[in-house]
Amino acid sequence: MKMRASCSLLPQRMTVAADQVHVWHAPLDTSPSEVAGLKETFALDELSRAARFRHATDRQRFVACRGMLREILSWYTGESPGELEFCYGPHGKPLLKVADGAHPLRFNVSHSHGLAVFAIARDREVGIDIERFQTDFAWEEIAASFFSAEEVNILHSLPVQERYEAFLIAWTCKEACAKAGGRWPFPPFGTVGSFALAG
Ligand SMILES: CC(C)(COP(=O)(O)OP(=O)(O)OC[C@H]1O[C@@H](n2cnc3c(N)ncnc32)[C@H](O)[C@@H]1OP(=O)(O)O)[C@@H](O)C(=O)NCCC(=O)NCCS
């Protein structure tokens, strides 16, 4: 998705109803000019965070992700991307800042290897997670450490060739739930998608 190019195709304002979650996705490896344009909307703390990345690719992806987040949120709030102000929850979750109380628009972001996903909801917390499909790490040990005994048993009851995908679905659901601020553990199997709502 080319954010700036697609902007003109979108309605001037987007609305998310209380029973909806909007999910956007975008590649983060965009052109240097696109990245420079997105960076113009940044607050000082975001500029300083961008400057701390050692590797140019990581820096550009961070700028692309945060810049696209600002742009997407602006479609919903009606403010320009640069006018939006973020604050952070006790565990670092970014939230939209408003003068009094919590902003009704809630969002969450996940990024992995050059792809970002953005979840937008209203009046309740939302969490989203993506992970790259890669089997060359000790995912069974992670399952043994973080999943309940029942969940591990379910995993082992599956045909071997299906286990990794089941692990990944469960893991992203758990992460999404944790990022929403929901309860842990989150039922992994039979849950479709990798975003979660709380509240
Ligand atoms: C901080 C944390 C959310 C980052 O998760 P991650 O998988 O490394 O990264 P993701 O790409 O999914 O998410 C990163 C984005 O989440 C958002 N985020 C940061 N802190 C957050 C928090 N405490 N809660 C929700 N979202 C958060 C930010 O938008 C961040 O983007 P940014 O780095 O560009 O600012 C993660 O380390 C964490 O604490 N997860 C929940 C802990 C947990 O109990 N997990 C259980 C799984 S077994």
Per-residue pLDDT tens over the stretch 102-121: 789 999 999 999 999 999 99
Instruction: Give the per-residue pLDDT at 65.
Output: 97
Question: In whole angstroms, what is the distance from residue 75 CA to residue 83 CA?
Answer: 12
CA of 179 to the centre of ligand 1 (A): 6
Task: Read off the DSSP letter of residue 197.
Answer: E
In the three-class reduction of DSSP (H, G, I as helix; E, B as strand; rest coil), residue 161 is classed as helix
In the three-class reduction of DSSP (H, G, I as helix; E, B as strand; rest coil), residue 181 is classed as coil
| Angle subtended by helix axes 149-157 and 139-146, to nearest 10 | 140
In the three-class reduction of DSSP (H, G, I as helix; E, B as strand; rest coil), residue 143 is classed as helix
CA-nearest residue, atom 44 of ligand 1: 178
Question: In whole angstroms, what is the distance from residue 68 CA to residue 167 CA?
Answer: 30
Domains of the chain: 3-123 (3.90.470.20), 139-188 (no CATH)
Question: What b/e string do you get for 8-22 counting C-beta neighbours within 10 Å, with b at 16 or more?
Answer: eeeeeebebeeeebb
Mutation to probe ligand 1, out of 63, 109, 129, 183 (largest number of atoms < 8 A from CB): 109
Residue 127 has pLDDT above 70, yes or no: yes
Q: What is the mean pLDDT of residues 169-180?
A: 92
Name the CA dihedral angle for 164, 166, 172, 176, rounded to a multiple of 10 degrees: -170
Q: Is 93's C-beta closer than 6 angstroms to any atom of ligand 1?
A: yes
Name the CA dihedral angle for 64, 66, 72, 78, rounded to a multiple of 10 degrees: -130
**Type of residue at 146:** F
Q: Is 68's C-beta closer than 6 angstroms to any atom of ligand 1?
A: no
Q: Is 62's C-beta closer than 6 angstroms to any atom of ligand 1?
A: yes
* Contact yes or no for 129/116 (Cβ under 8 A): no
Q: Is 174's C-beta closer than 6 angstroms to any atom of ligand 1?
A: yes
Q: Give the model confidence (pLDDT) of 129-147 as tens digits.
A: 999 988 888 899 999 998 9
Instruction: Give the per-residue pLDDT at 135.
Output: 83
Question: In whole angstroms, what is the distance from residue 188 CA to residue 158 CA?
Answer: 14
* Contact yes or no for 129/175 (Cβ under 8 A): yes
- Global pTM reads 0.87
Question: In whole angstroms, what is the distance from residue 14 CA to residue 6 CA?
Answer: 13
Q: Give the model confidence (pLDDT) of 26-72 as tens digits.
A: 999 999 999 999 999 999 999 999 999 999 999 999 999 999 999 99
Instruction: Give the per-residue pLDDT at 11.
Output: 58
Question: In whole angstroms, what is the distance from residue 5 CA to residue 7 CA?
Answer: 6
Q: Give the model confidence (pLDDT) of 69-95 as tens digits.
A: 999 999 999 999 999 999 988 888 999
